[in-house]
Structure 1
Amino acid sequence: MSAHPMIELWRGGRLESAHAGHAVICRPDGSIVDAWGDPEAVIFPRSSCKMIQALPLIESGAAEAAGLTDAQLALACASHGGAKIHTDKVARWLADIGLTERDLRCGAHLPYDPDARKELVCADTEPCQIHNNCSGKHAGFLTLSKHLGAGPEYVDPTHPVQLTVRAVFEEATGEPSPGFGIDGCSAPNFATSVHGLARAMAFFAQASDAGDTRARAAHRLTRAMTAFPELVAGEGRACTELMRAMGGSVAVKTGAEAVFVAILPEQKLGVALKIIDGATRASEAAITAILIRLGVLDPGHPVADKLLSGPLTNWRGIVTSELRRAPGFC
């Protein structure tokens, strides 16, 4: 089955760009509520699956042993902007477990946060690994590795941390992973179908404190993300703005190359989507459209207007174009 048209860009009364993809809305038992494109299309979830990668951190007992807070667990699920609110907390986390920035294996890049980036550039200072948007996830990997008594190369696919992550990932998605690719932060990223990713998000949506160890872990991670949306991404970022717009009732997470997921606890539904051309603008618009369809995001909210329905302007503030839902999508 081919990808389904989802988001269009219109300029001067003409269709200028079109973005197609795959999307699934799913129940915890794997039954599909709605879908566009091919539910069984295999994708790399990239950073959208960080909450799955964080499950072993809690269910192993490592989080409790390290005394991790919900704010730290939100950072374990984050693709943060590298603002001081992020980097200070990651640095403190590493110090608390007796490690340093040198123990990270995620690499360094300039922070996404404009103030933090400006501060480094103006000071002619190179970013460190704590500025990496995945440093919270890696702090979680290090915490788990230390708890397991494993070696320092925790991103190696054969390391106990990644073997555990793969097993949990396959159980959460309900299907064996056909393989992995190396993510931007150097950790393996396990492939799955869009349906499998949505099923995993539905598991998170159904999870509660009354469940087993994994369900309690999933519930705590979802709660942490919605309680600290500013840590999951940052000011001006889609994940943070969408979670705030929905009043913390839904957790959302983006991934590179235009992947997006949503966890809807009240409806016990999971959502996963992938725009095949990798356009983040389109994935943000598409998840916004789905959240509106499911009744959890007000179509009149300024965030919905910003990501989906509002006009696009140029540098002079002149309206130049608009995003639209493609026919047959949402």
Structure 2
Amino acid sequence: MTAAVRMVELWRGGLPESSHSGHAVICDETGAIVESWGDPGAVIFPRSSCKMLQALPLVESGAADAAGLRPAQLALSCASHQGAALHVDTVRAWMEGLGLAEADLRCGSHEPSDRAERDRLIRAGDEPCQYHNNCSGKHAGFLTYSRHVKAGPEYVEIDHPLQRAIRAAFEEVTGEASPGWGVDGCSAPNFATTVHGLARAMASFAAATGTGDARDRAAHRLTRAMAEFPELVGGEGRACTELMRAMGGRVTIKTGAEAVFVAIVPERRMGIALKIIDGNSRASEAAIAALLVRLGVLDPAHPAARRRLAAVQRNWRGIETGEIRLAEGFPGA
């Protein structure tokens, strides 16, 4: 096994204070590795970075079309949103259109990350509901599929027809049999794969034209929906949203918990996957920005890129205390 490589560092007072190591792979449309850092064979949980893979059965089965889903809803099916009013209202309307209720979700409730919605709940004396869960759009997609195939309500169980369909699609696009699975934060199964497998999957999405077979058409629709509605994929201030906007919809990117990040680059027909092994998201955001710059699809001078590549650390008085830097030897350093 190849060791992880240092990718990102935090400097304070002219000295290195922290460092973050990881694995990263860039694949072409054939699944071949174009470049890699660390161990391409490292097995990881992709977490929410693979939501577009989990949404493939929704589109391929005809469930999305039968329910009349629009691109905004497809984007939400791949989202890790902030729980802002925009997200909550769209998911609620989607569920009501299916004749379903909040109680039909199996993602659980948590406080929204969006400050305005959090403050609204506090002022109203209301509790957050499952629509506020950052994965509620994905779960609405899960329910849309389950309703279409007339499967049971416990759609997060590993032996449910939905999860069997997801595993089959996941293994086909990663090109690997998954070595195992774990339970994600939203209670759905999360199938493990290698960093290379995840990058291979992203490259297959990048190569989709929308004119091929059902898999090709589904991958293209999901990729374009995410790029068209970056505000639904994440939210204001989030790296996914800001960086997709910075690239003008040319590239689709998605983060996952514990510092996973992926990118789908159609114009290069390439996919990227990376994992920071200590789970630090400031490092995964910097690393994905650096690799997007390397592929020539992100302007390093864009404010969204600079916030990740040359992020200044300040204390509560606004005094500059340090900065995030790319580690020597990593692209862009």
TM class, shorter-chain normalised? Answer: over 0.9
Cα offset, 1:311, TM superposition: 2.0
Q: Gapped runs of 5+ residues in structure 1?
A: none
Indicate yes or no: 2:289 matched with 1:291.
Answer: no
Alignment partner, residue 231 of structure 1? 232
Question: Deviations for 1:81-133, whole angstroms, at most 9, x for unmatched residues?
Answer: 01111000100000111101000000000001111111112222110000000
The amino acid of 2:23's aligned partner reads H
Aligned length: 330
Question: Deviations for 1:239-278, whole angstroms, at most 9, x for unmatched residues?
Answer: 0000000011000000000000000000000000000000
Question: Deviations for 1:107-160, whole angstroms, at most 9, x for unmatched residues?
Answer: 000001111111112222110000000000000000000011100000000000
Supply the distance in 1 between the matched residues of 2:116 and 2:198 (Cα, whole angstroms).
Answer: 34
Alignment partner, residue 168 of structure 2? 167
Secondary structure of 1:266's aligned partner: helix
Alignment partner, residue 28 of structure 2? 27
Secondary structure of 1:98's aligned partner: coil
The amino acid of 1:261's aligned partner reads V
Alignment partner, residue 192 of structure 2? 191
The amino acid of 1:176's aligned partner reads A
Could you tell me whether the CA contact under 8 Å between 1:28 and 1:200 is conserved in 2?
no
Supply the distance in 2 between the matched residues of 1:284 and 1:120 (Cα, whole angstroms).
Answer: 30
Cα offset, 1:47, TM superposition: 0.2
Cα offset, 1:309, TM superposition: 1.3
Secondary structure of 1:262's aligned partner: strand
Alignment partner, residue 3 of structure 1? 4
Indicate yes or no: 2:101 matched with 1:100.
Answer: yes
Supply the distance in 2 between the matched residues of 1:226 and 1:104 (Cα, whole angstroms).
Answer: 26
Alignment partner, residue 246 of structure 2? 245
> Normalized against structure 2, the TM-score is what?
0.98
Supply the distance in 2 between the matched residues of 1:315 and 1:173 (Cα, whole angstroms).
Answer: 44
Could you tell me whether the CA contact under 8 Å between 1:310 and 1:322 is conserved in 2?
yes
Q: Gapped runs of 5+ residues in structure 2?
A: none
Secondary structure of 2:329's aligned partner: coil
Give the RMSD, CA atoms, in angstroms: 0.7
Supply the distance in 1 between the matched residues of 2:131 and 2:212 (Cα, whole angstroms).
Answer: 34
Indicate yes or no: 2:117 matched with 1:116.
Answer: yes
Alignment partner, residue 326 of structure 2? 325
Cα offset, 1:304, TM superposition: 1.1
Alignment partner, residue 149 of structure 2? 148
Indicate yes or no: 2:224 matched with 1:216.
Answer: no
Secondary structure of 1:321's aligned partner: strand
Secondary structure of 2:164's aligned partner: helix
Secondary structure of 2:34's aligned partner: strand
Secondary structure of 2:267's aligned partner: coil
The amino acid of 2:291's aligned partner reads I
Cα offset, 1:290, TM superposition: 0.7
Cα offset, 1:318, TM superposition: 1.4
Cα offset, 1:237, TM superposition: 0.6
Supply the distance in 2 between the matched residues of 1:152 and 1:99 (Cα, whole angstroms).
Answer: 11
Identity value in percent: 68
The amino acid of 2:257's aligned partner reads A
Supply the distance in 2 between the matched residues of 1:21 and 1:258 (Cα, whole angstroms).
Answer: 9
The amino acid of 1:274's aligned partner reads K
The amino acid of 2:197's aligned partner reads G
> Normalized against structure 1, the TM-score is what?
0.99
Supply the distance in 2 between the matched residues of 1:121 and 1:260 (Cα, whole angstroms).
Answer: 33
Supply the distance in 1 between the matched residues of 2:315 and 2:306 (Cα, whole angstroms).
Answer: 16
Secondary structure of 1:208's aligned partner: coil
Secondary structure of 1:121's aligned partner: helix
Alignment partner, residue 132 of structure 1? 133
Supply the distance in 2 between the matched residues of 1:147 and 1:221 (Cα, whole angstroms).
Answer: 19
Supply the distance in 1 between the matched residues of 2:200 and 2:95 (Cα, whole angstroms).
Answer: 33
